[in-house]
Structure 1
Amino acid sequence: MQIWRQPSDIPADLAGSVVTIGVFDGVHKGHRAVITEAVRQARERDLPCIVLTFNPHPATVHNPGLTVPLVISVEDRMRRLEALNVDATYLQHYTLDYSTATAREFVVDQILGQLKARAVVVGEDARFGSGNEGDVETLSDLADELGFEATVVRDLRDDSGRRWSSTWLREILDRGDVKAASKVLGRLHRLRGEVVHGHKRGRELGFPTANLQASSAGVVPKDGVYAGWLVRTVPGMKAVENLPAAISIGTNPQFNGEGRTVEAHVLGRADLDLYGEKVAIDLVSYLRPMVTFNSVEELLERMDEDLRQTALALGVPVSGRVDPEQVTAGTDVRRQTP
């Protein structure tokens, strides 16, 4: 999939396309229904399918004091779009100046002018143009006037009638309900980041962890302990490992920690040296809240149970603590891979 960031990136010989428009944060099932229809129409017409998406999130540009954490990183958004057989994505840098275009100007100048759209596919809630003045009726009127085809894909909803949306996903994740989030996403919720050095307390207790800074990982669910998978590309190889992990999210109140972190302990592994690697963490289920115990011994007992519950949730053999003397991360011992 090609990624365009400015008009000069668009091939000069682009003669037509099918375009879909949206932030598509999370690329959840509702988004995929729209994108899949755009891809279908593009193949039917023998044209490229182009996604016009935006970064940063428009809401944060119009409301600088508002924090809208992305459900997934922009990098993962690009990967998800590529997996849906999108031919090109125009990643529009969203600014206040860009947002001043009227709905008509947006369609005429960018959708038809730059992207050469012969057909446009959107969801029911599509809005565009200055002040979000344009909606699906506006798009239909412009299609009739300017000679392109407009298709509106009906929203997907849950059993209660609520529309699947990125806003709803954030609410679900704020509750820590990663199982419900996976139903909306159609896959496990993923965090991504670089493994950084921590305080190494887990290593000393027999639970070495790969630490990600929560602020850079994406939408991080509420504090607690989770079962999931640490996903990494083996250095020097194209192979991907999915490693069962007990995951702690929070400030580590047992040791008066400051700042939220995401820490993943790979079950039964003392030989992993992940420092500096970019890894993903897929969250499967919420196990328990983050609490402070009366003693380290009580904490260890609870962590042993966390390992057991994690193994049961993931359907893998139960593993206990590792020998701290066998932990190789950050040492001169050559990294071992399975």
Structure 2
Amino acid sequence: MIVFRDPSEVPADFGPSVVAIGKFDGVHSGHRAVLDRARVDAATGGARVVAVTFDRNPLALLRPELCPPNLIGVHQKIQLLAETGIDATLVLRFDEALAGLTPREFVEHVLVEALGVRTVLVGSDFRFGRGGQGDPTMLAELGREFGFDVDVVADVRAHAAGRRVSSTWIRELLAEGDVETAAKLLGRAPSVWGEVVHGLKRGRELGYPTANLSSECEGFIPADGVYAGWLIDEGSTDGLRPGIRFPAAISVGTNPTFDDVASRQVEAYVLDETDLDLYGHRVEVQFTARIRSTVAFEGVDALVAQIDADVAEVRRILG
């Protein structure tokens, strides 16, 4: 998949294209339905499939007090979009200049001139242009003027729950620690991504050395607790060291037994690995199932006994 960071980077002969526009926060099942439709629309006619998205939630600039935490960061978003099989992603920097474009200017500059758009796919709640003036109806009017079609894709709904699949719902589930239901809506395991950094080394002292993720990691961290999951070592940027997937017991929280961790952290113990050196590596930590909530133990012996039980449960869950 090709990644463009500005419309000016798109080659002049790039089009025609079928474009899906959205925040794509989480690249969940609803987003994938839009992208799947785009791929079907582009199956004939030699068009490329392009996702147009943003480097941040527009609310981070327009109404920061209303902006929810992101489910994924830009790195994760690009990776997940690439896995859908689309041809390119245009990641627009959402700044004052972009926010100030009128709906017509956005369509003309981004969709028509840069991408040679043939069809645009959006959700029913799509808004664009200065002050959110544009909606699917206006987009269709501009499409008739500039010669492209507009396809409004219906929501993907979980009928038993009576809700549409949305980033908001997934955030609610993760905040409760319900990673299994969140995974069903995402179509994949929820995860965080970042660099492994040095911690207090307490896990090593207890016989369970952990890989500690930087506080700057990308992704929505689920509720405090202990989880079964996977650690994926991303591999080296030069491709000489391939990515490796390890089963892991994952802890999220502030370590209340010792009460000396200032902020929430994600740390993963790779099963049966005591000499694994991941410092400085970029890794993804995937959450498969929540085992228990975080509690304070009376002494190290009680803590180690519980960790023993946690690891046994993780091993059972992951098979």
Question: TM-score, normalising length from structure 2?
Answer: 0.94
Match of 2:252 in 1: 249
Q: Is the CA contact 1:213–1:260 (under 8 Å) kept in the aligned structure 2?
A: no
Structure 2 residue 275 is the aligned partner of structure 1 residue 271: yes
Q: Is the CA contact 1:214–1:220 (under 8 Å) kept in the aligned structure 2?
A: no
* 1:184, distance to aligned residue in structure 2 (A): 0.6
Match of 1:137 in 2: 137
* 1:238, distance to aligned residue in structure 2 (A): 5.2
Structure 2 residue 221 is the aligned partner of structure 1 residue 220: yes
Change (3 A) 1:94 1:9: same
Q: Is the CA contact 2:212–2:267 (under 8 Å) kept in the aligned structure 1?
A: yes
Distance 1:114 1:288 in 2: 50
- Read off the aligned partner of 1:253 and give its amino acid letter: P
SS at match of 2:44: helix
Question: For residues 35-67 of structure 1, what are the alpha-carbon distances to aligned partners after superposition, in whole Å with 9 as ceiling and x for unaligned?
Answer: 111122223120111111001211111123455
* 1:237, distance to aligned residue in structure 2 (A): 4.4
Aligned identity (percent) is: 45
Change (3 A) 1:199 1:15: closer
* 1:234, distance to aligned residue in structure 2 (A): 5.3
Distance 1:301 1:153 in 2: 52
- Read off the aligned partner of 2:213 and give its amino acid letter: L
Match of 2:312 in 1: 308
Match of 1:179 in 2: 180
Match of 1:84 in 2: 84
Q: Could you list the runs of 5+ residues in structure 1 that have no partner in the other structure?
A: 316-338
Match of 2:31 in 1: 31
SS at match of 2:229: strand
Change (3 A) 1:289 1:23: same
Number of aligned residues: 315
SS at match of 2:90: strand
Match of 1:298 in 2: 302
Q: Could you list the runs of 5+ residues in structure 2 that have no partner in the other structure?
A: none
Distance 1:66 1:90 in 2: 25
SS at match of 2:278: coil
Q: Is the CA contact 2:112–2:146 (under 8 Å) kept in the aligned structure 1?
A: no
- Read off the aligned partner of 1:50 and give its amino acid letter: V
Question: TM-score, normalising length from structure 1?
Answer: 0.89
- Read off the aligned partner of 2:136 and give its amino acid letter: V
Q: Is the CA contact 2:157–2:164 (under 8 Å) kept in the aligned structure 1?
A: yes
Match of 1:127 in 2: 127
242-251 vs 110-119, which moves further: 110-119
Q: RMSD between aligned alpha carbons?
A: 1.6
